[in-house]
Amino acid sequence: MTDANRVPSPMDRVWDFFTSVKLAIVTLIVIAVASIFGTVVEQNQPPEKYHQVYEDWAVALMDRINLFDMYHAWWFLLLLVLFTVNLTCCTLDRFPKVLKIVRNPRTKLDENLEKTLSLADRWKRKGALADWSAKYVEGLSSAFAKPRVTEEGGEVHLYAETGVASRFGVYVTHLSIIIIFLGAILGNLLGFKGYVNIPEGESVSQVPVRGGARVQDLGFTVLCNSFRVETYPSGQPKAYISDLSILEGGREVLRKKDVVVNDPLQYKGIWFYQSSYGQAGGARARLTVARPDGTPAGTLSLPPGEPVKIEGYGIVRGMNYDQNHEGHGPALQVAVEKPGQPQATFWLFQGRGDLDRLRKDSLSFSFEGLNAKLYTGLQVAKDPGVNIVWVGCALMVIGIIMAFFLSHQRVWVRLAQGQDGRVEVVLAGSASRNRLAFEKKFERIQTGVKAVGQ
């Protein structure tokens, strides 16, 4: 603040600039308008894509002003800095004044104050000043709030207020924005975001970080036990489900069998979010093995074309898959090599283990179906600032409610001995917001107070 009779120094002018609400309005609108560009121009796409959409000169120009990653461009961040500085300065400028008003309220209704209050009523009563002041203390208490009483120079002043907290709503809201920014900065500095595909049965202990060549060490291992998709009867996807384990030193320390979208896995501050899936490599054939008497002897999982050894028997290889072999349904062609014998190839019809027993071998196989090996795609995130952001968000809602739904309402009563021996009474009030509603409330207070002792 500058005195009226002093020429403002350059420093004052800078301060006035940064503490002005007009700057806040302009900054808010400029950020809003600037933000539109990034929603029209798709962000962070490969250059080829931009060249398909725009002329070369336009791409060059847009690239120059960082329009392809505009929310991280220096000029956009500068706008946010300006916004924050403005917010901080406004708060530093006004908060002490508000604190002063709240701590040292004007408890006396002097003439200067009276002139500024549009809601006022004046009347006279016969009787003693002390009697009437006692009556009006009670009247104001029941019509509004319990007043403080100040006696000075033969006058009695009553002062009552409600909703003081509303004065702080603005500052709680402003502070909350700064807290959110701090949380966001902290998360950017100390956290990471990555994405990883893990095929079923495989594990990772490192994750490629998004938007960079860096790889993040997790400090533990994530194993994908399995992945599956559930569908509604209509065929629409119902759930994408990953069964994940956390391993430390080769030992399982945590397992979550149903990591789904909207229900992530968390370990040591690192979160894994179900995000995508796909086919990992070729499909595997599932076989059950039985002895000639029909007793089960285990299962086999055959990758395409690769030999799988069975101790004391030989080598089994999955050769071909036919969805409808010779019109008898799905079948798998397998090749069996036994030591010292020529390779034998034959077809196994799905679910018909009884047919293979006719081969009269020491082991018979039953083809149970193909297992497509899938991978799960996981978003991986560590954000140590996120809880600070939530604190900021909670404060923001509280601050806004305080600011808009509370009103600092003040009511004064002044009693003085008049020339004619009667007691002159002045009742006045003001509200920090929602004055229209307060006018109605003031009328009720007026009626309530005036009725006392009548």
Partner 1 sequence: MSNVILFNLTTVLFGVASALYLGALYAKNEKIAGFGTWACVLAAFVSTAALGLRWYESYQMGIGRIPVTNLYESLVFFAWAVNLFYLVVERKYGSRTFGAFVMPIAFFTMLFAIKNDSSIQPLVPALQSYWLHAHVITCFVGYAAFAVSAGAAVMYLMKARQEEAKISEGVTGLLPACRTLDDLVYRSIIWGFPFLTAGIITGAAWANYAWGTYWSWDPKETWSLIVWLVYAAFLHARITRGWHGKRAAVLSIVGFLATIMCYLGVNLVLSGLHSYGGS
Chain positions contacting partner 1, by CB under 8 A:
21-22, 24-25, 28-29, 31-32, 35-36, 38-40, 42-43, 71, 184, 193, 232, 234, 236-240, 260-262, 264, 271, 273-275, 379-381, 383, 386, 389-390, 393, 396-397, 400-401, 404-405, 434, 436
Smallest gap from Cβ 153 to partner 1, in A, equals 36
Nearest to partner 1 of 183, 353 (CB atom): 183
For partner 1, give the closer residue by CB, 264 or 314: 264
313 vs 404 by CB, closer to partner 1: 404
Shortest Cβ 130–partner 1 spacing (Å)? 42
Residue 401 beta carbon to partner 1: minimum distance, rounded to whole angstroms: 6
Residue 335 and residue 5: Cα distance in Å, rounded?
A: 103
Which residue, 7 or 36, has its beta carbon nearer to partner 1? Answer: 36
Three state DSSP letters for the chain: CCCCCCCCCHHHHHHHHHCCHHHHHHHHHHHHHHHHHHHHCCCCCCHHHHHHHCCHHHHHHHHHCCHHHHHHCHHHHHHHHHHHHHHHHHHHHHHHHHHHHHHCCCCCCCHHHHHHCCEEEEEEECCCHHHHHHHHHHHHHHHCCCCEEEEECCEEEEEEEECCCHHHHHHHHHHHHHHHHHHHHHHHHHCEEEEEEEECCCEEEEEEECCCCCEEEEEEEEEEEEEEEEECCCCCEEEEEEEEEEEECCEEEEEEEEEECCECEEECCEEEEEEEEEECCCCEEEEEEECCCCCEEEEEEECECCEEEECCCEEEEEEEEECCHHHCCCEEEEEEECCCCCCEEEEEEECCHHHHHCCCCCCEEEEEEEECCEEEEEEEEECCCHHHHHHHHHHHHHHHHHHHHCCCEEEEEEEEECCCCCEEEEEEEEECCCHHHHHHHHHHHHHHHHHCCC
Q: What minimum distance in Å lies between the beta carbon of 89 and partner 1?
A: 14
Residue placing its CB nearer to partner 1 in the complex, 321 or 404: 404
23 backbone φψ class: left, alpha, beta (φ>0; ψ -120 to 50): alpha
Q: In whole angstroms, how close is the CB of 329 to partner 1 at the nearest point?
A: 32
Nearest distance, CB of residue 2 and partner 1, angstroms: 18
Strand-pair partners of 365: 289
Q: Given the complex with partner 1, which of 44 and 142 has the nearer CB atom? A: 44
Looking at the Cβ atoms of 348 and 381, the one nearer to partner 1 is 381
Would you say 95 or 404 has its CB closer to partner 1? 404
Residue 30, CA atoms < 13 Å, CB-side half-sphere = 15
Smallest distance, partner 1 to C-beta of residue 442, A:
16
How near is the Cβ of 55 to partner 1 at its closest, in Å?
A: 21
Pick 150 or 379: Cβ nearer partner 1: 379
Nearer Cβ to partner 1, position 46 or 340? 46
Q: What is the spatial distance between Cα 173 and Cα 405, in angstroms, rounded to a whole number?
A: 13
Phi and psi of 70, rounded to 5°?
Answer: -70, -25
| Angstrom distance (rounded) from CA 171 to CA 182 | 16
Q: Nearest distance from residue 345's CB to partner 1, in Å?
A: 43
Q: Which is nearer to partner 1, 20 or 203 (CB)?
A: 20
Nearer to partner 1, 180 or 334 (CB): 180
Q: Which residue from 333, 307, 217 is spatially nearest to 270, judged by alpha carbons?
A: 217
Kindly give the pairing relationship between strand 203-208 and strand 344-349.
unpaired
The least CB distance from residue 315 to partner 1, in Å, is 42
Q: Which of 319, 298, 318, 322 is nearest to 308 (CA)?
A: 318
CB of 295 to partner 1, least distance (A): 42
Q: Least distance in Å: CB of 72 to partner 1?
A: 9
